[in-house]
Chain A
Amino acid sequence: MLNFNDEQRMIRDNLRQLLTSETPVSHLRALRNARSSDGISPALWKTFGELGFAGVLVPEEFGGLGLSLFDATIVAEEYGHTLTPSPFLSTSVMATTALVVSGNTHLMRRFLPEIALGRIVMACAVDTGPHHDPRMPGLGFARSGATVTANGTKTFVVDGHIAETVLVTGLLDGEMTVAAVARDTPGVTVRRQWMMDAHNSAALKFEDVQLNQMQLLSDPGKGRDILDAVLAAGRIVVAAELIGLADEVLSRTIAYLKERHQFGRPIGSFQALQHRAALQFAEIEQARAAVLKAARAVDEGAENAELMVSVAKAKAGEAALGASEEAVQMHGGMGITDDLDIGLFLKRARVADHLLGNAHYHVTRVAALTGY
């Protein structure tokens, strides 16, 4: 079913209350203006741990809620509304999925309980260049005896500057492999990337970084499955955040259309604007359904799950960018000022669309997965 049950509605309502009171959009603005070194609210992350949200995908045996990706989208949609920068994506979704799919009990025992409690931030380093291309990790692992040496670079690593441990993709003997590397390991340099949307990102350099076998999540061979699962989960959750963002920016626009008067009447009475606003609504509803369907498809291991993930990411990116671009236009000159929050939505929409593959990337992937 692609609608929420009572429990899911309750999770959503509780989160909405928490986020609108603890981290409304002004919170992001304050972090940005202060050039905060964390770029997140550590207090909120702790609360996420206490309330169980940080461990939504962590299996119960490791102290989490053991819920589904479908449930994780509820969380993401809510922080999309408030533009809250949260380690939920990097840690609770991507790193958690990597660990669970790896089946590596040693690393799961070490990290999952900490994740569930909101006590640790982790990151997943996938991309190496300015365009998403996960098959080209830009990093190599070389094995000699029990030591593994890593060399390469990563970019656009969400929460890479605050992560205690980074899960890094690379090639070992030509096979995709994932390793858990503590950020303070000698040879790792981290540069905080101040992004347009004031959300968190870092560029990482690995120079002769010495690792031991135990830090590999799995045998080579299995790395690709781990990566695929991480990407699917990450893309769905970013897409859900984009839906929340789109929904919020549209309702702010509707409110403005009712309140702003020109020619002696509310501008929202002009049909030219009404129809454009209504079209955005229709696009968001369709994209929302695609995201829920994709989450279900992954949860159930459906045959077309990968395809639905790309559909969801593409449609959510388009809907969020469309709604925020129209929002700027319909706010007139006010929409271009930094005083108004609308610009923050536009910036986040653009960056989150790009994250883990933009709409163009995912549309092309639909063609490839279908076979043409």
Chain B
Amino acid sequence: MKDDASVRDFRAETRAWLEQNCPPEMRLPIVEEERCWGGRKWTFHSDAQRLWLERMADRGWTAPTWPREYGGGGLSHAEAKILREEMDALNCRPPLERVSQALGLLGPTILAIGTDAQKARFLPPIARGETRWCQGYSEPNAGSDLASVRTRARDEGDHFVINGQKIWTSHAHLSDWMFALVRTGPDTPKHAGITFVLLDMDSPGVDVRPIELISGKSAFCETFLTDVKVPKENVLGEVNDGWNVSKILLSNERNSISTARNFMAERSIGLTALDRQREGPGHESDASLLDTSLRERIAAYEASAWAFSALSERAGDLAAAGESTAAHASVLKIHYARLNQLRTSLMLEIGGSDYFEWDAPVSDAARLWLRAKANSIEGGSTEIQLNILSKRVLGLPNL
């Protein structure tokens, strides 16, 4: 973008404000455990983290493009882009995870189709990091085939009574609220009988059990729902129209999974590999990687990662100009999964056995590599994204 005068002013003001208000600790490279997710159960890792969130939330810059009345910053797409660029340039950590279920997925969906009352009630606490949300879509028998959800919602006049089981509910045990797909029309065709509800996790009848993953973490849960009451004002969109609501949300999800990550704002892993080579005796002043195969594979990954950041920038520009297509969310999701898997695998190769220790490792590379395996499954698997592109974008016929 060519900086004209007003853009230049905004950039300069933004930079000055960030320099003054972002605590130095919040400008160090982020470690996984210190990402800020917020919510009532959240404990801040430091005063700096709390202060940084408060200051950014006061300006609405945790949700830069949301309207000010709902806790956002009221910025245009171009301004939000500048804010992001300046935060990257100063290494400012996101004060609140942009990819979270609340900020990345539900918030934009409520903004798009929620009632005024729902916007006023749910959005400001999300922007301030006061409520954390989880996503109750998947069930044991409804994964890729999400429209076959069976969790039943019985109509009781002014409220629904919900019974069923959700699975893979990320961070359900740390969340305050859940948005869920439930079946309200058991006798209608499967896409037509689904409703999108907002459910308070403190309601009686909600039981959450964490599941351990290959990475050793328990980031997601089984969620059992027994006679859980949900008032009707907590239906987002129309009753029995939840499938369409979920589609809006899923495209936000794919966009936010992929655009939240700018690989190239992170340090080049080629430079990390060179650092490690230089630790060897006699290699202190090496100017390049001696393992030319590794060098080329890292560079091929980094070339793709640069191209990916251009792609997510372009997707944002197209969306802001109203030219967005269903294609971009899927294209981003496919590339993101592959790149993150490649990156974490190369990191393990760079580290060698030093990085394989499970207890007290010198790096979290092994766990990140294992975690990245989920990137091509969560949020609709890579195969499902390819199905979407084949059918909806390329127009290829059904079998």
Contact (Cβ within 8 A) B387 A290? no
In angstroms, Cα B303 to Cα A308, docked, is 8
Contact (Cβ within 8 A) B313 A289? yes
- Considering only CB atoms, which chain B residue lies closest to A370 in the complex? B268
B281 at the A/B interface (Cβ < 8 Å)? no
In angstroms, Cα B323 to Cα A270, docked, is 30
Q: Which of B303, B314, B317 contacts A314 (CB 8 A)?
A: B303
For chain B, the count of residues having a C-beta within 8 Å of the partner chain is 51
In angstroms, Cα B317 to Cα A292, docked, is 12
Contact (Cβ within 8 A) B397 A367? no
Given A274-B387, A371-B274, A363 and B311 contact (CB-CB distance below 8 Å)? no
Contact (Cβ within 8 A) A271 B300? no
Q: Which of A266, A288, A307 contacts B397 (CB 8 A)?
A: A266
Q: Mark B348-391, 1 if CB is under 8 A from A, else 0.
A: 00000000000000000000000000000000000101110111
Contact (Cβ within 8 A) A367 B298? yes
In angstroms, Cα B6 to Cα A221, docked, is 39
Q: Mark B294-319, 1 if CB is under 8 A from A, else 0.
A: 01101110111011111101110110
Contact (Cβ within 8 A) A307 B306? yes
Contact (Cβ within 8 A) B399 A269? yes
Least CB distance from B274 to A in Å reads 4
Contact (Cβ within 8 A) A274 B303? no
B328 at the A/B interface (Cβ < 8 Å)? yes
Contact (Cβ within 8 A) B321 A281? no
Contact (Cβ within 8 A) A363 B296? yes
Residues of A with C-beta under 8 A to B308? 286
Contact (Cβ within 8 A) B389 A366? no
B289 at the A/B interface (Cβ < 8 Å)? yes
- Considering only CB atoms, which chain B residue lies closest to A274 in the complex? B390
Residues of A with C-beta under 8 A to B393? 278, 281
Q: Mark A328-372, 1 if CB is under 8 A from B, else 0.
A: 000000000000000000000000000000001011101110111
Contact (Cβ within 8 A) B288 A367? yes
B261 at the A/B interface (Cβ < 8 Å)? no
A257 at the A/B interface (Cβ < 8 Å)? yes
Q: Mark A83-121, 1 if CB is under 8 A from B, else 0.
A: 000000000000000000000000000000000000000
Contact (Cβ within 8 A) B310 A2? yes
Residues of chain A from 274 to 304 with CB closer than 8 A to chain B in the complex: 274-275, 277-279, 281-282, 285-290, 292-294, 300
Least CB distance from B351 to A in Å reads 16
Contact (Cβ within 8 A) A258 B299? no
Least CB distance from B379 to A in Å reads 16
Contact (Cβ within 8 A) A258 B314? no
In angstroms, Cα B314 to Cα A288, docked, is 10
Residues of A with C-beta under 8 A to B304? 286, 315
Contact (Cβ within 8 A) B302 A370? yes
- Considering only CB atoms, which chain B residue lies closest to A279 in the complex? B386
Residues of A with C-beta under 8 A to B274? 371-372
- Considering only CB atoms, which chain B residue lies closest to A285 in the complex? B331
Residues of A with C-beta under 8 A to B83? none
Residues of B with C-beta under 8 A to A363? 296, 299-300, 303
A17 at the A/B interface (Cβ < 8 Å)? no
Contact (Cβ within 8 A) A274 B1? no
A311 at the A/B interface (Cβ < 8 Å)? yes
Interface residues in chain B, defined as those with a beta carbon under 8 Å from any beta carbon in chain A: 1-2, 78, 268, 270-271, 273-274, 288-289, 295-296, 298-300, 302-304, 306-311, 313-315, 317-318, 321, 323, 327-328, 330-331, 334-335, 383, 385-387, 389-391, 393-399
Q: List 22 A-B contacts (CB under 8 A).
A: A258-B395, A270-B399, A274-B386, A274-B390, A275-B383, A282-B335, A285-B311, A285-B327, A285-B331, A286-B311, A287-B307, A290-B306, A292-B310, A308-B306, A312-B307, A315-B303, A363-B303, A364-B299, A366-B306, A371-B274, A372-B270, A372-B274
